Amino acid sequence: MNTLPVEQFRKFKNDITRFLMAYKFALDAFETKIDILTEEFQLFHDYNPIEHTKSRLKSPESILKKLYKKGLDISLPSIKANITDIAGIRITCSFIADIYRICDMLQNQSDLKIIEIEDYISHPKQNGYRSLHMLVEIPIYMSDRQENVCVEVQIRTIAMDFWASLEHKIYYKYNRTVPPTLLQELKEASDSAAALDRKMERLHNEISEVKDAQAEEWGEDLKQISISNQQFQLPEALLRLLSDRPNNV
């Protein structure tokens, strides 16, 4: 009995499992970064710009289909060199300004290498698609080596995400052959969603200004620290010291 094909298949299976595991770890590391940014914003700004995140890892079948469609070599080096969306994460925000704020924060992280940024908000696709895409390289540490792994990041508002989800379902239903009238309606819906984003952001800014103007200089909330649902009361001696301290110190 010839066992060579079985051994080759087993080796390929082990190799691709290990290969995809690196991308899974990259997603885990990236999601940890987002969790840290989320909690930091919540603590210091009493506002969380990130509504939710969703990650996904391409299946081996999907990866091989993409290689075949592009006429590329079927090998792990070929996959790594040509398929940049194996690991993907979508960050959904409340407002457009949050998208660029998160993008800036990610660019400032020294261990991340920004490969590419595509701004489909300032320059929407012809069909009306809006989102900010980043291709980011993140280091992960295995038991025997360090690897730099690409993660595709999509940052969009709730309205953009709703439109993109609906557009995807319509394209799937019509097998990517959507009637022209429906395409025009989708474009108009995208414009309406963009107008709603702008209006909600303006209202948000106005409310924030009113809230800041009405904030008390020393409220009860300033006398305690809250970290991960744990409350820490500031000592009265420290409060008196800060109260007596000149403002210009």
Query: Which residues belong to the active site?
Result: 152
**Crossing angle for the helix pair 4-45 and 96-107, to the nearest 10 degrees:** 110
Q: How far is CA 96 from the centre of its chain?
A: 14
Q: Phi and psi dihedrals of 204, rounded to 5?
A: -60, -45
Q: Strand 132-141's sheet: what is its strand order?
A: 50-57, 87-93, 146-157, 132-141, 113-119
Residue with the two structure tokens 């009238």: 181
Q: Judge contact between 126 and 137, C-beta under 8 A.
A: no
